[in-house]
């Protein structure tokens, strides 16, 4: 992928260290101290050091990772990850509704910045190798943190305040962490059929009450519902409850302690060496390096020589101009990948099911499309296909013939059941880069277990590290989905930067990515700090907090407390960001749809100086591909069997 690339990584931020690890995993040679006469193609820094000479030289791709942008009123201060969580709104989205905001237990902004920086660097390397252009890159932790707010910003756009929900889902129930006889389990239902099966297995008579007859009713009475569910889960061991839920098709999983991660069956199966090392020596500063966030394989057994496609590209075009991507996915992970590939200049064709992706109809929105869908699907061409029909599968095969990338987040094996195995894809297009994103990976201890973001956070160690008054709580943003999508983005762009032309299969397990992040956090000294209540919200204070500071904060508005107490920053609500001039200037943007309507969207949090990525348009309704009528036949032709 990035073999032959020489990288110098020097800077105090964790994001620099993690970015270097990612580039090294993709094949680059990384040094942490400059060698005399060394010809570095890429330099990764955080501008707590003098980098003006490197940036001005034009000899290197220089990636500068900072807390805020140069035009931000808070620039020049080395804000910590926790302070960025507070300033960006991320902290206020994490925690229980009746408690204080919670610092995410991993350095989320640093990790996200490392992943986006690695993708931007791979994009710049591709440009240099294709066009000879060398450019600088700027990445901000603030922009990366704000980019994770796609589930909370829609309420703010509709002038509403989104409350913290703990481990619940604002629109689905039951969906929560429940105590078991020996620990905790996450149970997540999203359909009436799942609820019916769960109710039958629980055998709690009160669950048949009319208060829980519909989804809307269950959400209204969620406190009573959760209490009744827990009367059942506390009678079971966690493993028994998990197996039962898997058998009936309900997403569920234990909250795995970071110290017990080495014994988690899927982690141990996929990362046996790391599991043995943790078991023998515990978690150290470099343990995370033994876990890979992506795996690559040959797409098929065929090893035919493949001629690269040659497309004329303007020197000033975006990095992925000329690349064609097919996206099959919903909600967050694959759509996030497609969104950034499109921003980087690729032609992205999104395949939606009949009647469109479910997330299109979520509220709030405008013109029949949700803000959530718009935020995650900018700059894509959308097509409606029913892949249960052969004519529509044939249309997909035609699209794949000249595609460069296929990315999907279907359940493992779903695409193969439709006739699109890796071997088949290799026959259709021998040079295709195919990326599959799933909860537990293709080779998994749980081949039939469904997974949601919350379950992966629980089983990847993230929830164990994020706690409110001792209770485990999920990252408010869809942390496992977002970080999994970022890992896929980097792997795809790194492969596109390679001169290799053979077909490649990229496997992303969101649990692998979550475990990588959790192990990195567990190997560092845990930062100290506390969110203190003020008259109108909270402030975050770094380090030890005194009783006098607690007493003082409760008498002050948070802006006054942040201004008068050393190390304090205001914990911003997401709706407050829309009145923050730095957020409006550096993070928020506007795009148009096909009807000319304006939409609030997010800028990408990385800036390439000469071939910039950009967010331009919101897609309209998916184009309907009309199937040809069946040919006349002497006998009726049976319909395709549903998958």
Residue 546: predicted pLDDT = 92
Report percent pLDDT > 70 for the chain: 94
Contact 405, 433 (CB under 8 A): yes
- What pLDDT, on a 0 to 100 scale, did the predictor assign at position 382? 97
In this prediction, what percent of the chain has a pLDDT beyond 90?
Answer: 83
Q: What is the CATH number of domain 6-163+528-582?
A: 3.40.50.10540
Q: Which residues pair with 529 in a beta bridge?
A: 542
Under a CB-based contact definition with an 8 Å cutoff, are residues 519 and 27 in contact?
A: no
DSSP H or E segment with residue 197: helix 192-202
Provide the b/e sequence for 383-393 (b: ≥16 CB within 10 Å): bbbebeeeebb
Q: Looking at the predicted structure, is the pLDDT value of residue 49 above 70? A: no
Q: State residue 96 phi and psi, 5-degree precision.
A: -90, 155
**Under 8 Å between Cβ of 160 and 103:** no
Mean pLDDT value of segment 456-465: 97
- Say yes or no to pLDDT of 219 above 70: yes
Protein fold of 175-254: formyl-coa transferase, domain 3 (3.30.1540)
Q: Check pLDDT > 90 for residue 61.
A: yes
* HSE-up of residue 488 (Cα within 13 Å, Cβ side): 37
Tokens 């081949």 sit on residue: 447
**How far is 425 from 601, CA to CA, in rounded Å?**
34
Tell me the average pLDDT across 287-291: 97
Residues 613 and 340 sit within 8 Å (Cβ to Cβ): yes
Report the interhelical angle of 479-496 vs 108-131 (nearest 10°).
Answer: 20
**In this predicted structure, what is the pLDDT of residue 171?**
81
Mean pLDDT of 247-252: 93
The pLDDT, as a whole number, for residue 277 is 95
Q: Span 336-351, mean pLDDT?
A: 98
Above 90 in pLDDT, residue 269?
A: yes
Per-residue pLDDT for 69 more than 90?
A: no
Same fold, 6-163+528-582 and 175-254: no
Distance of CA 593 to the CA centre of its chain: 25
User: Where do runs of H (alpha helix) occur along 132-168?
Assistant: 141-146, 153-157
Q: What is the pLDDT of residue 51?
A: 66
Can you tell me the mean pLDDT for 458-476? 96
Backbone angles phi, psi at 455, to 5 degrees: -65, -40
Average pLDDT over residues 600-616: 97
pLDDT single digits (tens) 404-423: 999 999 989 999 999 999 99
Confidence of residue 138 (pLDDT cuts 50, 70, 90): very high
Mean pLDDT of the chain: 92
DSSP 404: S
pLDDT-wise least confident of 48-52, 117-121, 122-126, 568-572:
48-52
CB-CB neighbours of 274 under 10 Å? 23
Residues 62, 64, 65, 69: is their CA dihedral positive or negative? negative
Name the pTM for this structure: 0.94
Per-residue confidence (pLDDT) for residue 640, from 0 to 100: 34
Confidence of residue 137 (pLDDT cuts 50, 70, 90): very high
pLDDT tops 50 at residue 483: yes
Copy the structure tokens of residue 295.
Answer: 């795996």
Number of helices (H), then strands (E), in the chain = 25, 26
C-beta of residue 185 within 8 angstroms of C-beta of residue 198: no
Q: Is the pLDDT of residue 582 over 60?
A: yes
Q: Which residues contact 441 (CB under 8 A, 6 or more apart)?
A: 266, 270, 412, 507, 508, 509, 511, 512
pLDDT reading at 641 higher than 70: no
Rounded to whole angstroms, the Cα distance separating 357 from 299 reads 28
Class of domain 303-451+469-511: alpha beta
Higher per-residue confidence, 419 vs 51: 419
pLDDT of residue 109 exceeding 80, the answer is: yes
Question: What's the number of CA atoms in the CB half-sphere (13 Å) around residue 147?
Answer: 31
The interaxial angle of helices 81-88 and 108-131, nearest 10 deg, is: 90
Is it the case that residue 76 has pLDDT exceeding 90? no
Confidence bin at 310 (pLDDT 50/70/90): low
Distance separating alpha carbons of residues 176 and 167, to the nearest angstrom: 5
Q: How far apart are the first and last CA of the chain?
A: 36
User: Tokens 């197996």 belong to which residue?
Assistant: 243
Residue 89 has pLDDT above 60, yes or no: yes
Rg (CA), the chain: 24
Token pair listed for 262: 């080495």
Residue 453 has pLDDT above 80, yes or no: yes
In 409-522, beta strands by DSSP E: 433-438, 467-468, 471-472, 504-509
Say whether 243 sits in a helix, a strand or coil. Answer: helix
Q: Looking at per-residue confidence, does 555 or 310 come out higher?
A: 555
According to DSSP, the residues that pair with 436 across neighbouring strands are: 408, 507
Q: How confident is the model at residue 305 (pLDDT cuts 50, 70, 90)?
A: low
The residues pairing with 242 across neighbouring beta strands, listed in sequence order, are none
pLDDT at residue 339, as a whole number: 98
pLDDT at 253: 95
The answer, yes or no, to whether residue 452 has pLDDT greater than 80, is yes
What is the C-alpha to C-alpha distance for residues 620 and 380, in angstroms, rounded to an integer?
Answer: 9
Q: Are strands 537-542 and 568-570 parallel, antiparallel or unpaired?
A: antiparallel
Q: What is the pLDDT of residues 490-549, one digit of tens each?
A: 999 999 999 988 999 999 999 999 999 999 999 999 889 999 999 999 999 999 999 999
Find the DSSP H helices in 258-411: 265-270, 272-281, 333-343, 371-376, 390-401
- Just list the catalytic residues: 481
For the chain, which residues make up each domain, given as ranges? Answer: 6-163+528-582, 175-254, 303-451+469-511
pLDDT at 161: 87
- Of 106-120, 131-145, 253-267, 307-321, the poorest mean pLDDT is in 307-321
Confidence band for 304, pLDDT divided at 50, 70 and 90? low
Report the C-alpha gap between 159 and 576 in whole angstroms: 10
């Amino acid at each position: 992928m990035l073999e032959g690339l020489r990288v110098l990584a020097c800077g105090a931020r964790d994001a620099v260290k993690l970015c270097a690890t990612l580039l090294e995993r993709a094949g680059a040679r990384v040094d942490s101290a400059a060698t005399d006469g060394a010809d570095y193609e890429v330099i990764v820094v955080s501008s707590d050091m003098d980098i003006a000479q490197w940036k001005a030289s034009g000899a290197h791709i220089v990636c500068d990772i900072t807390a805020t942008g140069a035009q931000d009123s808070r620039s020049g201060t080395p804000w910590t990850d926790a302070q960025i969580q507070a300033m960006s709104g991320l902290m206020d989205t994490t925690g229980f509704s009746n408690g204080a905001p919670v610092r995410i237990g991993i350095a989320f902004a640093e990790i996200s910045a490392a992943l986006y920086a690695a993708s931007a660097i791979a994009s710049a390397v591709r440009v240099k190798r294709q066009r000879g252009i060398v450019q600088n890159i700027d990445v901000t932790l603030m922009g990366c943190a704000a980019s994770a707010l796609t589930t909370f910003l829609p309420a703010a756009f509709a002038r509403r305040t989104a409350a913290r929900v703990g481990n619940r889902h604002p629109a689905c129930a039951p969906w929560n962490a429940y105590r078991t006889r020996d620990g905790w389990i996450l149970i997540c239902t999203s359909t009436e059929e799942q609820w019916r099966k769960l109710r039958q297995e629980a055998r709690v008579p009160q669950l048949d009450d009319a208060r829980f007859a519909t989804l809307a009713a269950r959400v209204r009475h969620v406190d009573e519902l959760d209490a009744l569910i827990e009367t059942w889960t506390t009678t079971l061991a966690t493993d028994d409850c998990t197996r039962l839920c898997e058998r009936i098709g309900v997403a569920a999983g234990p909250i795995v302690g970071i110290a017990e991660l080495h014994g988690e069956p899927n982690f141990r199966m996929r990362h046996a060496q790391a599991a043995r090392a943790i078991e023998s020596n515990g978690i150290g500063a470099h343990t995370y390096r033994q876990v890979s966030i992506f795996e690559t394989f040959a797409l098929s057994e065929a090893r035919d020589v493949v001629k690269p496609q040659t497309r004329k590209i303007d020197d000033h075009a975006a990095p992925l101009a000329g690349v064609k991507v097919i996206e099959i996915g919903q909600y967050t992970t694959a759509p996030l990948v497609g969104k950034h590939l499109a921003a980087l200049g690729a032609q992205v064709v999104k395949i939606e099911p009949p009647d469109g992706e479910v997330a299109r109809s979520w509220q709030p929105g405008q013109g029949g499309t949700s803000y959530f869908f718009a935020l995650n699907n900018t700059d894509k061409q959308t097509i409606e296909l029913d892949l249960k029909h052969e004519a529509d599968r044939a249309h997909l095969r035609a699209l794949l013939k000249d595609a460069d990338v296929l990315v999907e987040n279907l359940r493992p094996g779903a695409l193969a059941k439709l006739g699109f195995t890796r071997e088949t894809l290799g026959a259709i297009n021998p040079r295709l880069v195919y990326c599959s994103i799933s909860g537990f990976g293709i080779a998994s201890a749980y081949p039939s277990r469904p997974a949601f973001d919350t379950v992966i956070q629980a089983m990847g160690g993230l929830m164990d590290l994020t706690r409110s008054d001792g209770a485990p709580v999920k990252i408010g943003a869809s942390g496992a989905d977002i970080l999994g999508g970022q890992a896929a983005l980097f792997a795809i762009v790194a492969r596109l930067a390679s001169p290799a032309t053979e077909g490649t299969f990229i496997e992303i397990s969101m649990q692998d990515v979550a475990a990588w992040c959790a192990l990195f956090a567990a190997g560092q000294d845990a930062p100290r700090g506390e969110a203190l209540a003020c008259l109108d919200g909270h402030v975050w204070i770094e380090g030890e907090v005194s009783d006098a500071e607690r007493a003082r904060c409760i008498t002050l508005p948070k802006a006054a407390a942040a201004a008068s107490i050393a190390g304090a920053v205001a914990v911003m609500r997401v709706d407050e960001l829309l009145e923050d001039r730095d957020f409006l200037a550096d993070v928020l943007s506007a795009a148009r749809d096909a009807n000319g309507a304006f939409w609030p969207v997010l800028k990408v949090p990385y800036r390439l100086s000469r071939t910039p990525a950009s967010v331009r348009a919101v897609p309209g309704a998916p184009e309907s591909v009309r199937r040809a009528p069946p040919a006349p036949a002497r006998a009726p032709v049976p319909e395709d069997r549903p998958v």
